[in-house]
Amino acid sequence: MICNDLSIALAPILARYDKNQIVVVYDQNITLPTDVAGLASHSVYGLSVSETAKSLETVSLVWDFLFEKGITRRGLLIAVGGGILTDLCGFAASTYKRGIDYVNIPSTLLAMIDASSGGKTGFNYHGLKNSIGLFAPPVATLIWPQWLRTLPPQQFLCGFAEMLKTGLIADQCLWSRLLQYDLDTMDIDALTPLIRDCVAVKEQIVAADPREEGIRKTLNFGHTFGHALEELSHTQATPLDHGYAVLYGMIAELYLSVVKLACPKEPLQQLTQLMLHAYGKPQCKCSDRDPLIALMQQDKKNEHAEEINCTLLQAVGQPLINQLITPQEAAEAIDYLFSI
C-alpha cells in the first residue's frame, strides 16, 4: 500500500507478531527512521549492500542474524532499503526454517516500482543477475513516497526508468502522463499518483500470472538487453545502475520492435529524446557487442540454451512475449543503441 504515515500502516502488521520475534534488516546506506512504529525497539541489523554484494554470502549474514536472535517460523523480518536488500531479505526469509513472513519497506523509487512487490526474491550467481531465487511474496509492501525527497537524482532516475517501462507495456494514457512529468523538478506530490498507477499495473499482472508463465513476462521489457549491459558494466571501470541499464535496454528492444513488429517509431523517438535529456548516452564500445550477446544467451528468461528471448512491442500497450531474436538481430540493436 502507499501510505502517508508509515507508523499507522505498519502498526497493525506488527501487532500480529510477538515483539521478540520481529527483526529489522536495513541498508546502511540509508538513515533508518527510528521513530517509525518503534522500529528501533526490535532487533536491528544494518547491511552494507551493493550489486556486487548481492550474493549468497550476504544472504548467509541475514540467516546468521535470524538464528542469533532465535527467530522461529512464527517470526517476521522487516526489510528496509532498496531493491537489492529487499531481494536478498525476501530470499533469506522465505528459505529460513522453510519460510517466515517478511515485510518490504522500499526506500528507493526503483524498489517501490519494481523489486519490493511481485514476490521475486534472489541473488546474483556466477556473474548472472538474479539467477538464484524464489517466488515468495511478502505479507505487505509499504510505500512511503516522502522517503524520495532525500533520494539523489541518479537514483530517482533509476526508478523512473522502470515507471517508463510500465507505461510502455500498459497503455498510451499512462505513457503520455509519464512523458509529461517534469524530471527537472522531481515533484514528489505530482509523482505519487503515477507511482500508485504503475504499482497497480504490476500488481494486476502478477495476480494474473504469479510465476511468470505468461503475461508477467511483459514486465521483462527492456531487461534482456538491460541485464546484459548491467552485468558487463560490473566487470569494467564504471558500473551501470540497474535503472539506466533498463532504459538503454528498452531503446534496443524498441528498435527491434520497430524492425521486426512494425511498431510505430514515435515511442522509440520519445524515449531516445528523454534519454538524451536526462540520462545521457551509454558508455559502451564496439568490443562490448560480443560479450553482451553471450550474456543475453545465458539470461534466465531463455527456455533453451543460447537462444535470446525478449518481450517486444507491437505498439504502446501491446507487448508480445517470447519473441526470439538472432545474435545478428541483437548485434544490430546494440549497434543502433551505441550509435545514438
Contacts of 58 (CB under 8 A, 6+ apart): 47, 49, 88, 123
Last residue of a domain, one of 93, 119, 150: 150
Nearest CA to 173 out of 327, 316, 289, 10 is that of 316
Which structural domain range is residue 176 located in? Answer: 153-339
CATH number of domain containing 62: 3.40.50.1970
> Both 163 and 202 in a single domain?
yes
Percentage of residues in the chain having pLDDT higher than 90: 79
Question: What is residue 129's three-state secondary structure?
Answer: strand
Q: What does the pLDDT look like over 167-176, one tens digit per residue? A: 999 999 999 9
> Both 100 and 174 in a single domain?
no
Q: Give the separation between CA 308 and CA 224, rounded to whole angstroms.
A: 8
pLDDT at 40 over 80: no
Determine what percent of the chain falls in helix, strand and coil, rounding each to the nearest 5: 55, 15, 30
> Cα-flanking dihedrals φ and ψ of residue 2, to 5°?
-95, 130
> Both 80 and 91 in a single domain?
yes
Least-confidence region, from 33-47, 91-105, 118-132, 145-159: 33-47
- Average pLDDT (200-215) is 94
Q: Which 8-state DSSP code applies to residue 326? A: -
Does residue 304 fall inside a structural domain?
yes
pLDDT at 34 over 70: no
Q: What is the pLDDT of residue 305?
A: 66
- Kindly tell me the burial class for residue 73, based on how many C-beta atoms sit within 10 Å of its own C-beta (0-12, 13-18, 19 or more): exposed
pLDDT at 7 over 80: yes
Could you give the C-alpha distances from 182 to 17, 111, 190, 248, in angstroms and in order? Answer: 42, 21, 9, 20
Does residue 285 fall inside a structural domain?
yes
Per the rule left: phi > 0, alpha: psi between -120 and 50, beta: everything else, 51 is: alpha
Beta strand 22-27 with 101-106 is unpaired
> Both 207 and 60 in a single domain?
no
Q: What does the pLDDT look like over 247-272, one tens digit per residue? A: 999 999 999 999 999 999 999 999 99
What are the DSSP calls for 193-210, one per residue?
HHHHHHHHHHHHHHHH-T
CATH number of domain containing 288: 1.20.1090.10
**Cα dihedral sign for 314, 268, 281, 152?**
negative
pLDDT at 300 over 90: no
Does residue 217 fall inside a structural domain?
yes
Q: What is the pLDDT of residue 118?
A: 86
Last residue of a domain, one of 127, 150, 173: 150
- Average pLDDT (213-232) is 95
Percentage of residues in the chain having pLDDT higher than 70: 98
Strands of 164-213 (E only): list them.
none
- Average pLDDT (315-335) is 96
- Average pLDDT (105-134) is 90
| Number of domains making up the chain | 2
Q: Give the separation between CA 85 and CA 116, rounded to whole angstroms.
A: 9
pLDDT at 232 over 90: yes
Q: Contact at 8 Å (CB) between 86 and 102?
A: no
Structure-block grid coordinates of residue 170: 500498459
pLDDT at 146 over 90: no
Q: Contact at 8 Å (CB) between 333 and 308?
A: no
Least-confidence region, from 32-41, 120-129, 276-285: 32-41
Nearest CA to 143 out of 10, 14, 297 is that of 10
Banded pLDDT at 35 (limits 50, 70, 90): low
Does residue 1 fall inside a structural domain?
no
Question: What is residue 330's three-state secondary structure?
Answer: helix
pTM for the model: 0.90
- Average pLDDT (296-309) is 81
Q: What is the pLDDT of residue 284?
A: 81
Q: Give the separation between CA 107 and CA 116, rounded to whole angstroms.
A: 10
- Average pLDDT (81-95) is 96
Question: What is residue 285's three-state secondary structure?
Answer: coil
Structure-block grid coordinates of residue 54: 548481492
Q: What is the pLDDT of residue 180?
A: 98
> Both 196 and 323 in a single domain?
yes
State the helix-helix crossing angle for 223-233 and 242-261, rounded to 10 degrees: 140
Which stretch of DSSP H or E encloses residue 311? strand 308-315
> Cα-flanking dihedrals φ and ψ of residue 128, to 5°?
-105, 130
- Three-state SS string over 264-282 comes to CCHHHHHHHHHHHHHHCCC
Does residue 164 fall inside a structural domain?
yes
Beta strand 128-135 with 120-125 is antiparallel
Question: How confident is the prediction for the chain on average, in pLDDT?
Answer: 93
